[in-house]
């Protein structure tokens, strides 16, 4: 007796692949690309904002240095009425010094040049209009200042006899400008202060 055993044959029909992994990978890659481009754009914008802020700070510090230089000039130079008259003399004007009021009787005023606009860089850069502060070397465009004598500060004394001295202080308006870094700076800062001197 002969026995036949049948061996099962494997059915090797190919399984159909659908490519789901490829599609998901492409979607993930697309999302990561969009996020990367957005992050680069945000970084570039933040870098520009930081640079603009730095330029504004440089301009502010330059203007502050010019303001302090002008106030030091007043404190060190104007120590008497005679010094006031010499420095703010309309007959022999000094660069950057102006007088809205006459420093003494008989002297003429010496106001800012006609059409001078403190918000116009060209007026600041014109020769003879303002004092250049050369001690600030970190910027290409040196900061500048101008000083205006505005007269005595406060109401005149009630002295009908004319024997009491006038103790009012002498007032000045100091205006300074500073620019940011670079050959053609975009950032600028303008500062003003009031300064009083008892003489």
Per-residue pLDDT of the chain (199 residues; tens, 9 = 90+): 566 565 555 566 666 666 677 778 888 888 888 888 888 878 787 888 888 899 999 999 999 999 999 999 999 999 999 999 999 988 888 999 999 998 887 788 999 988 999 999 999 999 999 999 999 988 999 999 999 999 999 887 777 676 778 888 999 999 999 999 988 888 999 999 999 999 8
Determine the pLDDT at residue 199. Answer: 86
Q: Is residue 78 part of a domain?
A: yes
Q: Is residue 128 part of a domain?
A: yes
CB atoms within 10 A of CB 81: 12
Among 175, 199, 194, 185, residue whose Cα is nearest residue 67: 175
Per-residue 3-state assignment (H helix, E strand, C coil) for 100-141: CCCCCCCCCCECCCCCCCCCCHHHHHCCCCCEECCCCCCCCC
Q: Is residue 17 part of a domain?
A: no
Specify whether the CB–CB gap between 125 and 142 falls below 8 A.
no
What predicted TM-score, i.e. pTM, was given to this entire model? 0.76
Determine the pLDDT at residue 93. Answer: 87
Q: Is residue 105 part of a domain?
A: yes
CB-hemisphere CA count at 13 Å for 100?
A: 12
Q: CA-to-CA distance for 192 and 63, rounded, in angstroms?
A: 9
Query: How many domains is the chain built from?
Result: 1
Annotate 48-65 with b (16+ C-beta within 10 A) or e (fewer).
eeeeeeebeebbbbbbbb
Find the farthest-apart pair of alpha carbons in the chain and give their distance in angstroms, rounded: 159
DSSP reduced 3-state for 166: coil
Domain extent, residue 63, equals 24-157+165-197
Q: CA-to-CA distance for 116 and 142, rounded, in angstroms?
A: 19
* Rg of the Cα atoms in the chain: 38
Q: Is residue 48 part of a domain?
A: yes
Q: Is residue 5 part of a domain?
A: no
Q: Is residue 18 part of a domain?
A: no
Q: What are phi and psi of 192, to 5 degrees?
A: -135, 145
Q: Is residue 8 part of a domain?
A: no
Q: For the chain, where are the alpha helices, taking DSSP H only? A: 20-77, 81-87, 121-125
């Amino acid at each position: 007796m002969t026995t036949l055993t049948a061996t099962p044959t494997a059915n090797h029909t190919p399984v159909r692949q659908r490519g789901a992994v490829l599609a998901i990978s492409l979607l993930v890659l697309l999302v990561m690309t969009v996020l990367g481009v957005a992050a680069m754009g945000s970084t570039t914008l933040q870098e520009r904002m930081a640079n603009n802020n730095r330029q504004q700070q440089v301009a502010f510090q330059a203007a502050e240095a010019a303001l302090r230089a002008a106030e030091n000039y007043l404190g060190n130079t104007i120590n008497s009425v005679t010094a006031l008259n010499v420095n703010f003399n309309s007959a022999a004007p000094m660069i950057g010094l102006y007088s809205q009021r006459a420093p003494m009787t008989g002297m003429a005023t010496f106001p800012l040049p006609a059409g001078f606009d403190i918000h116009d860089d060209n007026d600041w850069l014109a020769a003879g209009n303002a004092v250049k502060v050369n001690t600030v070397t970190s910027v290409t465009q040196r900061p500048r200042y101008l000083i205006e004598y505005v007269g005595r500060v406060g109401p005149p004394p009630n002295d009908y006899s004319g024997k009491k001295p006038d103790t009012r202080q002498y007032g000045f308006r100091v205006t300074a400008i500073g620019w940011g870094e670079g050959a053609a700076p975009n950032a600028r800062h303008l500062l003003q202060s009031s300064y009083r001197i008892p003489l």
